[in-house]
Amino acid sequence: MEIFLNENAEILMYLLAAVVFALIFFLGKKKVDFSIRVLTAMALGIVVGLIFKDSAKYLRVFGTVYTRLIKLIVVPLVFVSIIKSFTSLENVKSLKKIGFKTVFWLLLMTLIGALMGVVAATVFDLGVGAPLPTGENTNEPFTLVSALLNLIPVNIFAHAANNDVLQVVFFAILIAIAIIIESNRKPERVKPFKDFIDSASNVMNRVTEIIIRFTPYGVFGLVANAVSRNNAETFKTLGLYILVIYAVMIVFFIIIQLGFIAFIGKLNPFKWLKKVYPAQVVAMTTQSSLGTLPVSIKSLNRAGVSEQISNFSAPLGATMGMAACSGIFPAVVAVLTANAYGVELTFGIYATIILASVIASIGIAGVPGIASVAATVVLASVGLPLEGLLLVLAVDAFVDMGRTTVNVTGSLVAATLTARSENEFDEEIFNSNASIDVEISE
Cα distances from 83 to residues 44, 298, 363, in angstroms, run 40, 18, 20
42 by DSSP, 3-state: which? helix
**Helix axis angle, 329-340 to 239-251, nearest 10°:** 150
Give pLDDT, residue 13. 86
As a whole number of angstroms, the distance between CA 365 and CA 374 comes to 10
Helix, strand, coil percent values for the chain (each to nearest 5): 80, 0, 20
Q: Which residues pair with 425 in a beta bridge?
A: 305
| The pLDDT of residue 154 | 80
pLDDT for the residue 86: 67
**What are the 10-residue block averages of pLDDT along the chain, 442 residues in total?**
60 88 88 78 86 82 82 79 68 73 92 95 84 49 55 80 73 84 83 86 79 83 77 66 94 96 95 91 80 86 90 80 89 91 86 83 56 77 79 78 92 95 91 58 36
Half-sphere exposure of 222 (CA within 13 A, CB side): 29
| Closest CA relative to residue 401, chosen from 268, 292, 254 | 292
From 121, 113, 141, select the one nearest 253 (Cα to Cα): 113
Homologous superfamily assigned to 2-439: Sodium:dicarboxylate symporter (1.10.3860.10)
Q: What pLDDT is attached to residue 393?
A: 74
Please report which helix (H) or strand (E) contains residue 140, including its range.
Answer: none
Extents of the domains making up the chain? 2-439
DSSP 55-110: GGGGGHHHHHHHHHHHHHHHHHHHHHHHHHHHTTSSSHHHHHHHHHHHHHHHHHHH
* Tens-digit pLDDT profile for residues 149-191: 666 778 888 877 776 666 777 788 888 888 888 887 888 888 8
**DSSP, residue by residue, 357-386:** HHHHTTT---STTTHHHHHHHHHHHTT--G
Name the helix (H) or strand (E) containing 435: none
84 C-beta neighbours (distance < 10 Å), count: 22
CB 297 within 8 A of CB 314: yes
- Letter for the amino acid at 33? D
pTM, two decimals, is 0.74
- Are the C-beta atoms of 325 and 106 separated by less than 8 Å? no
Cα 359 to Cα 11: distance, rounded to the nearest angstrom: 48
393-396 long-range CB contacts below 8 Å, 24 or more apart?
Answer: 394/234, 394/237, 394/238, 395/230, 395/234, 395/235, 395/238, 395/241, 395/242, 396/369, 396/371, 396/372
Partnered with residue 305 across adjacent β-strands are 425
- In degrees, rounded to 5, the angle at the alpha carbon of residue 110 between the alpha carbons of residues 267 and 98 is 60
Burial of 192 (0-12, 13-18, 19+ CB in 10 A): exposed
Q: Which residues contact 218 (CB under 8 A, 6 or more apart)?
A: 62, 63, 65, 66, 67, 285, 286
Q: For residue 142, what pLDDT is reported?
A: 46
